Amino acid sequence: MDHAVEATLTVNGREVRRRIEPRMHLVDFLREELGLTGSHIGCEHGVCGACTVRVNGQIVRGCLMLAVQADGCTVETIEGLSDSKELSSLQKAFHERNALQCGFCTPGMLMAAQDLVLQKQKVSREQIRAHISGNYCRCTGYQAIVDAIDEVINGKG
Amino acid sequence: MAKAELPLHAPGTQLDKGYIGQSVPRPNAQRLLQGRGAFTDDLRFPRLAHAAFFRSPYAHAKIKKLDFKQALRSPGVITVVDGRAVAEYCKPWVAVLAHLKGIKSPEQFALAIGRACWQGEPVAAVVAESRTQAEDAVALIEAEWEELPVVVDMEESLRGKKIIHEEFEDNICFKRELDTGGVDEAFAQADVVVEETFHFGRHTGVCLEGRAILADYNAAEHSLTVYHATQAPHMMQDIFSRHLGIPEANVRVIAKDVGGAFGIKVHVYPDEMATAALSVMLRRPVKFVADRLESFLSDIHAREHRAKVRIACTKEGQILAFDLDDLTAIGPYSVYPRTSGIEGNQVVNLTGGPYKHQKYRAKMNVVFTNKNVTCQYRAVGHPIAVALTEGIVDLAAQRLGMDPADFRKLNLIADDAYPYTFPSGIKFEQLSHHKALDLLLKVMDYRKLREEQKQLRQKGIYRGIGLAAMIEVTNPSPAFYGVGGARISAQDGATLRLEPTGMVTVLCSVTEQGQGTEAIFAQIAASAVGVSLEKVKVITGDTGVTPYGGGTWASRGAGIGGEAVLLAGRALRANILEVASQVLKMEKAELDILNNEVVNKLTLESKMPLAELGRIAYFRPDTLPVDYQSELTVTRHYTPRQYGFTFTNGIQASYVEVDADTGFVKLLKHWCVEDSGTVINPMLVDEQIRGGIVQGIGAALYEECLYGPDGQLLNGNMADYLVPMSGEMPDIVCAHVETPTRQSQLGAKGVGEAGTAGAPGAVMNAVNDALAPLGARVTAMPFTPERILKALGKV
């Protein structure tokens, strides 16, 4: 049975129109239909944050939003924000401080971190830790991630 | 480029000047930062089919009937198969090793035939055009089951009233006893004897990327290419070859980016073997990625132990003897090919390891249960051995009224006592317990912290300081697996090739899962050849192109793979100078390589860029003497020979605050001093230690796979199984003592598991130190608020 409905989304600045099964979640749509494999699937129940993407300027869990819910929305992914250089300060700080190991959490972590950067306020380490506490990293111990975000937001070297 | 805080060259090493000891960023991290890595699930193939598995809903049950009629009619389904159908393509296995005397395990099939032995064991597979369609069809499989008696508790399993595998007369997979003699006498003479039983929860790796495999069988060539999230591509090549009946040279295993592994991705999994078999059966590529729920049910678990330990001490505080009784449960099968006997074996080998006592007795039983299988996971056995050793040592110090740091100082093996054989038989080349302890006490300002703790206690604030000294197995020789008959390479190889433009390509059999393997190999290669770092490109994780080797496990990548890179780099340097001497008509001894150029060794005057040398060697060899052949690709291998394992040592400290009203533990700070020999990249080493510590903190405070009495996993998802998140984690201070191993020229020992080995013991001791004035004590990990409140008598 075909329950697919037509939806139009703007993904990384480009309009895409697709027939989408209502049960398909947004991150599956990005990965499977658009080939944007930078957003990762870690738990599919909204805990790990690996699938974090930006919809209409807000970060969301790509596994907790259905693709059809994004009809008419602007969606931004790690690929788009890398190409636009919006993430370049965070990416540079993450690289220089080794704030990633396997890199599976990194796209989601960067999306969450950039959300804090965009608030344009000085923040404490505790606030940084709290802001990324919905993004699971099994490799790093989080400290280098906190250091990198701290550097970008608070200008610490 | 940031300079390391440590000396560039540790004493005792003979390295050329270069990048060793420098905190350079990882070149291969750039693609991951842009979401442009290539994890197995990111690959797209024509005719790619997707597998999903029907798993046993029962912990132990006879499969009376499987009905695939509805499933086969579901949209997009290509096939639905049971265990017998897959067994036509994939031979079963038995996970035993000869050096673990007496170990036994039943034959295991890719998909269970006739009987399922744990909840989550795969019993049927659907292959469909999409994963969604495959999962839809799995839901349509109808099965008739007859439930069988379930053994969940390990003490019950040991008693053996209910036998899990009827071909065996008991539930014991493996047992070991060790006795130096004189233990009873030591306890009889002791002024103080302390005893405690520690419980360690069963937990699992929770790699953010689920296990992933894409098998692509080519029927015309009878060849199989497997894209696999694995730590050991050559081991898997051998396994696929032997179990699927494909010649070894026709099997190629490629590990592209791997999203965390921690030992989870170094084992043979039934669903992955079935996926490879299905690719052969269907003559097309088939992919399987474990989702989070099936990861909890089918990724190996680890660490379920009950350990009773006693020590005997003099009234001055000298430890005389250790006496250990350990019991661990591994699920219904020993895991192939490494077996599930190693973790318990390590506990016996390592317990009491930092200390001077000469009398030691241990008894250890490994039993079957109807829960998911357990096997080697980061730090294998170390967290158990360290925690029970350090827990009982703290208890003895408390009983004697001694400061825990002073008690350790008295009993740690002296730094000038090496080489040293520990009573369990393990041999230490050179450790530095006292230097490490002294450095730790200094960096944490131990005495001041004790003073602060004392003052806060008067205000009703309960803080605790916990220490945990440790020894750690790294750089294993064939003594780990090979001697037992496992086809797991103890050797690793590196090929270095000078490219015509003067760049150096490194191909190495050790794999990368984010530790920075490729970065440190680039540092070593650049230093050994004499080129700048950006001239080096490292390739790992492909049996089709790299030399043969073991891969990544047991903290062996830097020490073994790194030495192979160093040896190959030096050989390539010599070969380059040979070519240069032909071109320049100078003696080889007069020449050297510095910063991408051949130079006069004495004057350092530039004689020729390597790019020019490469151009001549490859494109204009006609200008070289007619009887001369240049050789600008070299391969070298390395395996440690002098010692079974290159032991490292370290010590950690944890500072916590326990809320006596809620039972919550707040981690205030954590310190680690580690001696991993030559430090190649301090930044990578420190963050790896921190990651390891956080994983160990998870074990101490949060993580446990909880099973009901019927063998059902109760918390198999990330909402119910708690992992450490950034909000609760402390800042972690790392410091190093550098005692390079003299077995290799590089001098590097392993470091990847050290954090995980020591953290649970340190946190446990800190919690108990905090609880001590309240007369409470906890010994069962994880230390949940509920357990702490129970210990306090509040619930």
Q: What angle do CA B170, B172, B176 make, to 5 degrees?
A: 135
pLDDT digits (tens, 9 = 90+) for B129-146: 999 999 999 999 999 999
DSSP strand pairing (B732-736 vs B665-675): parallel
SS3 string, A15-57, reads: EEEEEECCCCEHHHHHHHHCCCCCCCCCCCCCCCCCCEEEECC
pLDDT of residue B15: 45
Residues of A in contact with B26 (CB under 8 A): 95, 98
pLDDT of residue A156: 67
CA separation (Å) from A32 to A7, B15, B208, B284, B332?
16, 49, 19, 19, 37
CB-based contact, B3 to chain A, within 8 Å: no
* Residue tagged 């533990």 (tokens): B665
Q: How far apart are CA B56 and CA B145, in angstroms?
A: 9
Which of B411, B419, B467, B423 has its CA nearest to residue B444? B467
- pLDDT at residue A147 above 50? yes
- pLDDT at residue A127 above 90? yes
Q: Which residues contact B333 (CB under 8 A, 6 or more apart)?
A: B95, B105, B106, B108, B117, B340, B368, B373
pLDDT digits (tens, 9 = 90+) for B349-378: 999 999 999 999 999 999 999 999 999 999
Confidence bin at B661 (pLDDT 50/70/90): very high
Distance from CA of A63 to the nearest CA of B (A): 12
Residues of A in contact with B719 (CB under 8 A): 45, 47
Residues of B in contact with A101 (CB under 8 A): 260, 513-516, 687-688, 691
**Optimal mutation site among B1, B22, B28, B32, interface A, most CBs of chain A within 10 A:** B32
Do B514 and A132 count as a contact with CB atoms less than 8 A apart? no
Do B717 and A45 count as a contact with CB atoms less than 8 A apart? yes
Count of other CB atoms within 10 angstroms of residue B140 = 18
Q: Which of residues 723-752 of B touch A (CB under 8 A)?
A: 723, 725-729, 731-732
Confidence bin at B10 (pLDDT 50/70/90): very low
Distance from CA of A96 to the nearest CA of B (A): 5
CB-based contact, A91 to chain B, within 8 Å: yes
Q: Which residue of A has its CA nearest to B43?
A: A37
Distance from CA of B152 to the nearest CA of A (A): 27
Residue B260 has its nearest CB partner, among A45, A78, A139, at: A139
Q: DSSP secondary structure string, B45-87?
A: -TT-EEEEEEE-SSSSEEEEEEE-HHHHHSTTEEEEEEHHHHH
Do A138 and B687 count as a contact with CB atoms less than 8 A apart? no
Percentage of the residues of chain B whose pLDDT score is greater than 90: 97
Note the ipTM here: 0.98
Residue A132 has its nearest CB partner, among B516, B726, B755, at: B726
Residues of B in contact with A21 (CB under 8 A): 132
Q: Does domain B40-148+223-291 have CATH number 3.90.1170.50?
A: yes
pLDDT digits (tens, 9 = 90+) for B723-747: 999 999 999 999 999 999 999 999 9
pLDDT digits (tens, 9 = 90+) for B238-264: 999 999 999 999 999 999 999 999 999
Count of other CB atoms within 10 angstroms of residue B252 = 18
Q: How far apart are CA A43 and CA B718, in angstroms?
A: 7
Distance from CA of B43 to the nearest CA of A (A): 9
Q: Evaluate whether B301-478+642-791 and B491-638 have a shared fold.
A: yes
Q: DSSP secondary structure string, B264-290?
A: GGGS--HHHHHHHHHHHHHTS-EEEE-
Q: Which of residues 130-189 of B touch A (CB under 8 A)?
A: 130, 132
Do A103 and B32 count as a contact with CB atoms less than 8 A apart? yes
CB A42 within 8 A of CB A134: no
pTM exceeds 0.95: yes
pLDDT digits (tens, 9 = 90+) for A128-137: 999 999 999 9
CB B551 within 8 A of CB B745: no
Distance from CA of B127 to the nearest CA of A (A): 18
Distance from CA of B702 to the nearest CA of A (A): 14
pLDDT digits (tens, 9 = 90+) for A68-103: 999 999 999 999 999 999 999 999 999 999 999 999
Instruction: Write A41-47 long-range contacts (CB < 8 A, 24+).
Output: A41/B41, A42/A104, A42/A105, A42/A108, A42/A136, A42/B208, A42/B209, A42/B292, A42/B718, A43/A136, A43/B292, A43/B717, A43/B718, A44/B291, A44/B292, A45/B292, A45/B717, A45/B718, A45/B719, A47/A134, A47/A136, A47/B717, A47/B718, A47/B719
CB-based contact, B36 to chain A, within 8 Å: yes
Please give the structure tokens belonging to residue B782: 């994880």
Residues of A in contact with B729 (CB under 8 A): 129, 141-143
CATH of B301-478+642-791, one of 3.40.190.10, 3.40.50.880, 3.40.50.300, 3.30.365.10: 3.30.365.10
CA B304 to the chain's CA centroid: 17
Residues of A in contact with B291 (CB under 8 A): 44
Confidence bin at A1 (pLDDT 50/70/90): low
Q: What angle do CA A84, A86, A90 make, to 5 degrees?
A: 135
CB-based contact, B514 to chain A, within 8 Å: yes
Average pLDDT of the segment spanning A2-27:
96
Please give the structure tokens belonging to residue A30: 């990005």
- B652's enclosing H/E stretch is strand B648-658
Confidence bin at B18 (pLDDT 50/70/90): confident
Confidence bin at B17 (pLDDT 50/70/90): low
pLDDT of residue A2: 76
Do B726 and A146 count as a contact with CB atoms less than 8 A apart? yes
Confidence bin at B284 (pLDDT 50/70/90): very high
Q: Which domains does chain A have, with CATH numbers?
A: 5-81 (3.10.20.30), 85-154 (1.10.150.120)
Sequence spans of domains, chain B: 40-148+223-291, 301-478+642-791, 491-638
Distance from CA of B393 to the nearest CA of A (A): 28
Confidence bin at B8 (pLDDT 50/70/90): very low
Do A82 and B687 count as a contact with CB atoms less than 8 A apart? no
Q: How far apart are CA B203 and CA B209, in angstroms?
A: 17
Residues of A in contact with B514 (CB under 8 A): 100-103, 139
Say what the alpha-carbon torsion angle B637, B378, B150, B366 is, to the nearest 10 degrees. 70
Residue A104 has its nearest CB partner, among B36, B208, B694, at: B208
Residue B690 has its nearest CB partner, among A37, A138, A140, at: A140
DSSP strand pairing (B223-228 vs A14-20): unpaired
CB-based contact, B30 to chain A, within 8 Å: yes
DSSP strand pairing (B223-228 vs B77-82): unpaired
Distance from CA of A116 to the nearest CA of B (A): 15
CATH class of residue range B491-638: alpha beta
Distance from CA of A72 to the nearest CA of B (A): 25
Chain mean pLDDT for chain B: 96
